[in-house]
Amino acid sequence: MEEAVVVFYAGPFAITSIVITTWGIMLFLGVFCWLATRQLSLDPGPVQTMLEGIILLIEESIEAVSPGYAQQMMPFIGTLWIYIVIANLVGIVPELHSPTGNLSVTAGLAILVFLSVHWFGIRNEGVRYLKHYLSPSPILLPFHLISEVTRTIALAVRLFGNIMSLELVALLVLFVAGLLVPVPVLMLHIVEALVQAYIFGMLALIYVAGAMQSQQNEKGASL
Protein backbone atom coordinates (compact mmCIF):
# COMPACT_ATOMS: atom_id res chain seq x y z
CA MET A 1 0.00 0.00 0.00
CA GLU A 2 1.39 3.33 -1.08
CA GLU A 3 1.80 6.02 1.50
CA ALA A 4 -0.15 9.26 1.04
CA VAL A 5 1.95 11.79 -0.80
CA VAL A 6 2.14 15.28 0.65
CA VAL A 7 1.21 17.65 -2.14
CA PHE A 8 1.66 20.91 -0.32
CA TYR A 9 1.55 22.46 3.09
CA ALA A 10 -1.15 24.81 4.28
CA GLY A 11 0.29 26.27 7.42
CA PRO A 12 0.77 23.46 9.91
CA PHE A 13 -1.29 21.04 7.77
CA ALA A 14 0.37 18.79 5.23
CA ILE A 15 -2.11 18.49 2.37
CA THR A 16 -1.77 14.95 1.09
CA SER A 17 -3.08 13.40 -2.11
CA ILE A 18 -5.80 11.78 -0.03
CA VAL A 19 -7.13 15.15 1.04
CA ILE A 20 -6.90 16.41 -2.53
CA THR A 21 -8.90 13.38 -3.67
CA THR A 22 -11.47 14.07 -0.99
CA TRP A 23 -11.75 17.66 -2.16
CA GLY A 24 -12.17 16.39 -5.67
CA ILE A 25 -14.96 14.13 -4.54
CA MET A 26 -16.59 17.02 -2.66
CA LEU A 27 -16.23 19.26 -5.72
CA PHE A 28 -17.69 16.59 -7.98
CA LEU A 29 -20.61 15.92 -5.68
CA GLY A 30 -21.24 19.62 -5.06
CA VAL A 31 -21.18 20.56 -8.75
CA PHE A 32 -23.19 17.50 -9.79
CA CYS A 33 -25.84 18.08 -7.16
CA TRP A 34 -25.99 21.80 -7.94
CA LEU A 35 -26.41 21.12 -11.64
CA ALA A 36 -28.85 18.27 -11.09
CA THR A 37 -31.06 20.14 -8.64
CA ARG A 38 -31.04 23.55 -10.35
CA GLN A 39 -34.20 22.95 -12.29
CA LEU A 40 -36.20 20.34 -10.48
CA SER A 41 -39.68 19.78 -11.74
CA LEU A 42 -42.74 17.82 -10.71
CA ASP A 43 -42.31 15.85 -13.91
CA PRO A 44 -38.80 14.47 -13.30
CA GLY A 45 -36.20 13.58 -15.90
CA PRO A 46 -33.85 10.57 -15.71
CA VAL A 47 -31.24 12.26 -13.46
CA GLN A 48 -33.88 13.68 -11.10
CA THR A 49 -35.60 10.30 -10.99
CA MET A 50 -32.30 8.64 -10.07
CA LEU A 51 -31.58 11.21 -7.35
CA GLU A 52 -35.10 10.94 -5.96
CA GLY A 53 -34.76 7.17 -5.92
CA ILE A 54 -31.47 7.39 -3.99
CA ILE A 55 -32.87 9.89 -1.48
CA LEU A 56 -36.05 7.89 -0.96
CA LEU A 57 -33.98 4.70 -0.53
CA ILE A 58 -31.87 6.41 2.14
CA GLU A 59 -34.97 7.83 3.81
CA GLU A 60 -36.75 4.49 3.87
CA SER A 61 -33.65 2.72 5.23
CA ILE A 62 -33.35 5.22 8.07
CA GLU A 63 -37.11 5.13 8.66
CA ALA A 64 -36.99 1.34 8.92
CA VAL A 65 -34.33 1.47 11.65
CA SER A 66 -35.40 4.64 13.43
CA PRO A 67 -39.00 5.54 12.64
CA GLY A 68 -39.75 9.24 12.77
CA TYR A 69 -36.12 10.41 12.68
CA ALA A 70 -35.38 10.09 8.97
CA GLN A 71 -35.39 13.83 8.27
CA GLN A 72 -33.13 14.50 11.23
CA MET A 73 -30.59 11.79 10.48
CA MET A 74 -30.59 11.87 6.71
CA PRO A 75 -27.85 14.52 6.21
CA PHE A 76 -25.33 12.62 8.31
CA ILE A 77 -26.17 9.02 7.42
CA GLY A 78 -26.91 9.81 3.79
CA THR A 79 -23.66 11.69 3.39
CA LEU A 80 -21.79 8.79 4.95
CA TRP A 81 -23.28 6.37 2.41
CA ILE A 82 -22.77 8.64 -0.59
CA TYR A 83 -19.27 9.76 0.35
CA ILE A 84 -18.02 6.27 1.24
CA VAL A 85 -19.43 4.76 -1.96
CA ILE A 86 -17.75 7.42 -4.08
CA ALA A 87 -14.56 7.27 -2.05
CA ASN A 88 -14.42 3.48 -2.32
CA LEU A 89 -15.05 3.54 -6.07
CA VAL A 90 -12.44 6.20 -6.74
CA GLY A 91 -9.83 3.50 -6.31
CA ILE A 92 -10.90 1.96 -9.59
CA VAL A 93 -9.80 5.04 -11.49
CA PRO A 94 -6.15 4.69 -12.49
CA GLU A 95 -3.65 6.85 -10.62
CA LEU A 96 -6.22 7.54 -7.90
CA HIS A 97 -6.50 5.88 -4.50
CA SER A 98 -9.58 5.42 -2.38
CA PRO A 99 -9.49 7.88 0.53
CA THR A 100 -11.15 5.15 2.58
CA GLY A 101 -8.03 3.05 2.11
CA ASN A 102 -6.32 5.45 4.47
CA LEU A 103 -6.69 4.90 8.21
CA SER A 104 -6.66 8.65 8.93
CA VAL A 105 -9.76 9.07 6.76
CA THR A 106 -11.70 6.10 8.18
CA ALA A 107 -10.67 7.12 11.69
CA GLY A 108 -12.00 10.60 11.02
CA LEU A 109 -15.29 9.13 9.82
CA ALA A 110 -15.43 6.78 12.80
CA ILE A 111 -14.78 9.66 15.20
CA LEU A 112 -17.57 11.61 13.53
CA VAL A 113 -19.88 8.63 14.03
CA PHE A 114 -18.75 8.40 17.67
CA LEU A 115 -19.43 12.10 18.22
CA SER A 116 -22.69 12.08 16.31
CA VAL A 117 -24.00 9.22 18.45
CA HIS A 118 -23.67 11.38 21.55
CA TRP A 119 -24.81 14.53 19.66
CA PHE A 120 -28.05 12.94 18.51
CA GLY A 121 -28.50 11.17 21.83
CA ILE A 122 -28.19 14.32 23.93
CA ARG A 123 -30.15 16.34 21.36
CA ASN A 124 -33.15 14.02 21.58
CA GLU A 125 -32.91 12.64 25.12
CA GLY A 126 -31.09 15.42 26.93
CA VAL A 127 -28.56 14.64 29.63
CA ARG A 128 -30.64 11.59 30.57
CA TYR A 129 -29.08 10.02 27.50
CA LEU A 130 -25.90 9.44 29.53
CA LYS A 131 -27.85 7.35 32.01
CA HIS A 132 -27.84 4.42 29.66
CA TYR A 133 -24.11 3.95 30.43
CA LEU A 134 -25.21 3.03 33.96
CA SER A 135 -27.83 0.61 32.73
CA PRO A 136 -28.60 -2.03 33.74
CA SER A 137 -25.93 -1.56 36.46
CA PRO A 138 -23.27 1.10 37.08
CA ILE A 139 -20.80 -1.72 37.25
CA LEU A 140 -21.16 -2.06 33.51
CA LEU A 141 -20.01 1.53 32.86
CA PRO A 142 -16.42 0.52 32.00
CA PHE A 143 -17.70 -2.06 29.61
CA HIS A 144 -19.97 0.50 27.97
CA LEU A 145 -16.99 2.83 27.58
CA ILE A 146 -14.82 0.04 26.19
CA SER A 147 -17.63 -0.86 23.83
CA GLU A 148 -17.88 2.72 22.59
CA VAL A 149 -14.15 2.87 21.90
CA THR A 150 -13.81 -0.56 20.37
CA ARG A 151 -16.78 -0.23 18.05
CA THR A 152 -15.43 3.09 16.84
CA ILE A 153 -12.05 1.56 16.24
CA ALA A 154 -13.72 -1.39 14.57
CA LEU A 155 -15.61 0.93 12.25
CA ALA A 156 -12.42 2.67 11.20
CA VAL A 157 -10.29 -0.43 10.85
CA ARG A 158 -12.99 -2.51 9.07
CA LEU A 159 -13.47 0.00 6.29
CA PHE A 160 -9.77 0.80 6.05
CA GLY A 161 -8.77 -2.86 6.03
CA ASN A 162 -11.26 -3.92 3.38
CA ILE A 163 -10.59 -1.12 0.95
CA MET A 164 -6.83 -1.17 1.47
CA SER A 165 -6.75 -4.92 0.98
CA LEU A 166 -8.82 -4.68 -2.20
CA GLU A 167 -6.44 -2.20 -3.72
CA LEU A 168 -3.47 -4.26 -2.57
CA VAL A 169 -4.91 -7.48 -4.03
CA ALA A 170 -5.60 -5.76 -7.33
CA LEU A 171 -2.06 -4.39 -7.36
CA LEU A 172 -0.55 -7.77 -6.53
CA VAL A 173 -2.62 -9.55 -9.18
CA LEU A 174 -1.62 -6.90 -11.70
CA PHE A 175 2.02 -7.44 -10.87
CA VAL A 176 1.81 -11.21 -10.90
CA ALA A 177 -0.71 -12.05 -13.67
CA GLY A 178 -0.69 -9.22 -16.17
CA LEU A 179 -2.76 -6.34 -17.52
CA LEU A 180 -6.34 -7.70 -17.82
CA VAL A 181 -6.31 -10.30 -15.09
CA PRO A 182 -7.19 -7.85 -12.26
CA VAL A 183 -10.48 -6.96 -13.99
CA PRO A 184 -12.54 -9.50 -11.97
CA VAL A 185 -10.79 -8.17 -8.88
CA LEU A 186 -11.88 -4.68 -9.87
CA MET A 187 -15.45 -5.93 -10.29
CA LEU A 188 -15.16 -7.40 -6.83
CA HIS A 189 -13.91 -3.97 -5.81
CA ILE A 190 -17.15 -2.41 -6.97
CA VAL A 191 -19.27 -4.89 -5.02
CA GLU A 192 -17.04 -4.58 -1.98
CA ALA A 193 -17.18 -0.80 -2.18
CA LEU A 194 -20.96 -0.83 -2.10
CA VAL A 195 -21.12 -3.45 0.64
CA GLN A 196 -18.57 -1.69 2.85
CA ALA A 197 -20.30 1.63 2.41
CA TYR A 198 -23.62 0.04 3.31
CA ILE A 199 -22.09 -1.68 6.37
CA PHE A 200 -20.40 1.47 7.61
CA GLY A 201 -23.50 3.62 7.12
CA MET A 202 -25.86 1.00 8.55
CA LEU A 203 -23.67 0.52 11.65
CA ALA A 204 -23.51 4.28 12.12
CA LEU A 205 -27.28 4.42 11.73
CA ILE A 206 -27.76 1.65 14.28
CA TYR A 207 -25.42 3.34 16.76
CA VAL A 208 -27.11 6.71 16.36
CA ALA A 209 -30.61 5.19 16.48
CA GLY A 210 -29.62 3.23 19.61
CA ALA A 211 -28.46 6.42 21.27
CA MET A 212 -31.62 8.31 20.29
CA GLN A 213 -33.82 5.52 21.62
CA SER A 214 -31.70 4.58 24.65
CA GLN A 215 -34.27 5.84 27.15
CA GLN A 216 -37.08 4.07 25.36
CA ASN A 217 -35.03 0.87 25.40
CA GLU A 218 -34.46 1.27 29.12
CA LYS A 219 -38.16 1.81 29.76
CA GLY A 220 -38.94 -1.23 27.69
CA ALA A 221 -36.35 -3.28 29.59
CA SER A 222 -37.63 -2.10 33.01
CA LEU A 223 -41.17 -3.00 32.07
Interacting residue ranges for other proteins, rule: CB under 8 A:
1, 3-4, 12-16, 18-19, 22-23, 25-26, 29-30, 33-34, 36-37, 40-42, 44, 48, 51-52, 55-56, 59, 71, 74-76, 78-79, 82-83, 99, 102-105, 107-109, 111-112, 164
Q: How far from 221 is each of 20, 64, 76, 157, CA to CA, in Å?
A: 48, 21, 29, 32
Each residue of 147-177: b (16+ CB within 10 Å) or e?
eeeebbeebbebbbebbbebbeebeebbeee
For other proteins, the closer of residues 44 and 184 by Cβ is 44
For other proteins, the closer of residues 45 and 136 by Cβ is 45
Contact indicator for 99, 85 with CB cutoff of 8 Å:
no
Each residue of 50-63: b (16+ CB within 10 Å) or e?
ebeeeeeebbebbb
Least Å from the CB of residue 105 to other proteins: 5
Least Å from the CB of residue 129 to other proteins: 22
Least Å from the CB of residue 198 to other proteins: 18
List the one residue out of 165, 199, 161 whose CA is nearest residue 81. Answer: 199
Least Å from the CB of residue 126 to other proteins: 24
For other proteins, the closer of residues 113 and 170 by Cβ is 113
Least Å from the CB of residue 155 to other proteins: 14
Give the C-alpha separation, 58 to 155, whole Å.
Answer: 20
Q: What are phi and psi of 180, to 5 degrees?
A: -95, -10
For other proteins, the closer of residues 4 and 215 by Cβ is 4
Least Å from the CB of residue 69 to other proteins: 14
For other proteins, the closer of residues 48 and 124 by Cβ is 48
Give the C-alpha separation, 115 to 60, whole Å.
Answer: 24
For other proteins, the closer of residues 122 and 218 by Cβ is 122
